[in-house]
Chain A
């Protein structure tokens, strides 16, 4: 589904991604871990099509197409979804109106009719239950005045509504208490099937107790320095990131 080869990207002349290789197949869950500032959000943003980041090398193929050639909205319409690390507030635009607009834009791009009000409401009811989203939040302005946890839950609710093929969850676990974490993870697990794939970006191993990855990758200084099965996450949790840092030639104060 997704094939990243030698991907390099920079911002303001500073190289952040220094050659990333990653293969993601349908039905798989990949975890990307790494210390703060290693480039995880940058990778997520580049995949989603944020133009602030300049791609300086490599390629990304998604469902056989050159992803990097596509505008952000076209990537979304083709099924790429990013759950933002910091979801954005849009005052005065109701969550529900926002989602309906998004859903219908995606449908229109596929030559489908806009969803009927009845079907839409039924879907809202079903999918918001999945992440136990407070009904009040559906009619409030997008993310405005939401708590950190509510914002994250809202991201997964949107994901459930839009049914993407490739979801990138950027630190969806941060700021969640253990109950919320379980709810969010449960939502992600229920949405998983043989035709979609998920990339879970996280700093902590904690989330991976609930969302079991098929592969774990460690990102450090813009490179994937290690890949392995889910046990790699455990190892990281035990040894901490200093181990990776040392391995990669950085001196670490003890």
Chain B
């Protein structure tokens, strides 16, 4: 098939979402709606200590006084927060001890997602925690990690088994009052992943969480807490999928990272929530608060490949509190059809000699809107702070939009802040050049886009990088301009 701009633009709409199946398993649902008694029900179902219930109720109180943020470059009908189920758990035997106890239907789901737990176990050496709807259903490799003193488990389990760690760190990076969605999450989160790396330990394998929304009309509110104790290292991966639905599904997660002195956390996300149909119906609304705090000489790297969701509202950030702390943000955000993404980062320099790097690669196709929003703030005491930001946008066709909103606040004159931005279009020239060498248009686009995003993809762990490349290709099938 030869390349012809307009025809191919039309074809954008023919691309289907590969992961849009529903798993037929019974689930345990809370009644629709949100009030204090639902929160008590969640807390009780999870057998939580009193302090956590109080924490949730206080969050709920705060949330009720807040309003949804309006400043992002996104448009959507405001969700009716009373119309969701705030608790949905796949019904199965409590806390499976091994894979044999996990519901076979659920295992089939993982197969379709291309993540056979068995395979994961044998081949890749990646420890996986899987969250379906709101509940964590399986964590592999736990025993092996435990030998090193590493804790990697569901959030609920951490509340039961390691309450002092949870209580010490929960809400310290993202306070309950931080924003509307964070407050909501703090009130109603049902599960998520927890990870603790002890002093001086290098976690020998990638830790991975897969999130999947399955039940209709559920909100998914995971809570992730990663604590890297002094001089430790961990690489953490997060993958997301959801089935196709007619109604928009709400996803509002909170991720908190704590890197103590000399620690390093790499946090990678491949987000592929259902983006909605051609009219934008049914996609996931993804309102996520991700933030890390870096103590002395520590590093936090956020790497994200965002291809899904109808709406993405997400700013993984670093508070560079300690001296010589390093914050990094590497992002590829692809939007197609009617998707809207407003994503970026905040780098808050507080300590001396702190350093941050931002590489953002936006790709817009179809009629989508793709915005980068970033804040670099250099505090009064942040002597010799340095930042480098590069924000590139790639446009496919002329019906999409790319926007860049960089905010820079500098309160210390010794700071060096550099910002570069480019906008380019995939050229017919480039595609024809590939065609002339025997490469068809779809492959050509995939090649060009992966080349454009290479700097970021290179930051991902190997097996994720391959997946991300495929995802970019799939998400762009047929789109060009």
Using a CB–CB distance below 8 Å, which chain A residues touch chain B? 48-52, 71-73, 75-77, 81-82, 84, 87-93, 98-99, 101-103, 105-106, 109, 141, 158, 162
Contact = CB atoms under 8 A, between A and B. Distances in A.
A48 B4 CA distance: 15
Contact of A49 (B430, B433, B435): B435
B450 A72 contact: no
A87 B438 CA distance: 16
A87 B437 CA distance: 12
A51 B441 CA distance: 13
B439 interface: yes
User: Can you list the 5 inter-chain pairs with the closest CB atoms, starting with the nearest?
Assistant: A92-B451, A93-B451, A72-B435, A71-B2, A102-B437
Interface string B449-479: 0111111000000000000000000000000
Given A106-B438, A109-B438, A51 B443 contact: no
Given A51-B3, A73-B439, A101-B439, A93 B433 contact: no
A98 B440 CA distance: 13
25 contacts: A48-B436, A50-B432, A51-B3, A71-B1, A71-B2, A72-B2, A72-B432, A72-B435, A73-B2, A73-B434, A73-B436, A73-B440, A76-B436, A76-B438, A77-B438, A84-B436, A90-B430, A90-B434, A90-B448, A91-B452, A92-B450, A92-B455, A93-B448, A105-B437, A105-B438
B450 A162 contact: no
Interface in B109-166: none
Contacts of B452: 91-92
B2 A49 contact: yes
Contact of B437 (A50, A52, A76, A109): A76
B427 A72 contact: no
B26 interface: no
Contacts of B4: 51
Contacts of A82: 436
B443 A72 contact: no
A72 B3 contact: yes
Given A48-B436, A51-B4, A88-B433, 15 more contacts: A48-B432, A49-B436, A71-B1, A71-B2, A71-B440, A73-B439, A73-B440, A76-B435, A88-B429, A88-B430, A92-B454, A102-B434, A102-B439, A105-B438, A105-B440
Nearest to A99: B437
Contacts of B417: none
Contacts of B450: 92-93
Interface of B: 1-4, 427-430, 432-441, 443, 447-448, 450-455
Contacts of A77: 438
Contact of A162 (B2, B3, B433, B437): B437
Given A92-B453, A92-B454, A92-B455, A72 B428 contact: no
Nearest to A105: B438
Contacts of B430: 88-90
Most chain A CB within 10 A, of B430, B437, B438, is at B438
Chain B facing A: main interface SS? helix
Nearest to B427: A88
A217 to B, nearest CB: 22
Contacts of B428: 52
A90 B433 contact: yes
A174 to B, nearest CB: 18
Contacts of B436: 48-49, 72-73, 75-76, 81-82, 84
Contacts of A102: 434, 437-439
Most chain B CB within 10 A, of A48, A52, A76, A90, is at A90
A88 B426 CA distance: 12
Nearest to B1: A71
Contact of B438 (A50, A73, A84, A91): A73
Given A90-B448, A90-B451, A92-B452, A51 B437 contact: no
A103 B443 CA distance: 13
Contacts of B454: 92-93
Contacts of B453: 92
A105 B439 contact: yes
Contacts of B438: 73, 76-77, 102-103, 105-106, 109, 162
B437 A84 contact: no
B421 to A, nearest CB: 15
A140 to B, nearest CB: 12
Most chain A CB within 10 A, of B1, B427, B447, is at B447
A204 to B, nearest CB: 24
B432 A87 contact: no
B435 A71 contact: yes
Contacts of B429: 88
A162 to B, nearest CB: 7
Most chain A CB within 10 A, of B4, B439, B443, B450, is at B439
A141 B438 CA distance: 18
Contacts of A99: 437
A16 to B, nearest CB: 17
A101 to B, nearest CB: 6
Given A50-B432, A76-B435, A109-B438, A90 B447 contact: yes
Most chain B CB within 10 A, of A50, A84, A158, is at A50
A158 B451 contact: no
B3 A93 contact: no
Contacts of B448: 90, 93
A141 B440 contact: no
B96 to A, nearest CB: 42
A114 to B, nearest CB: 13
Nearest to B451: A92
Given A52-B428, A71-B1, A88-B430, A158 B437 contact: yes
Nearest to A83: B436
Nearest to B424: A91
Contacts of A49: 2, 435-436
Nearest to B448: A90
Contacts of A89: 430
B435 A105 contact: no
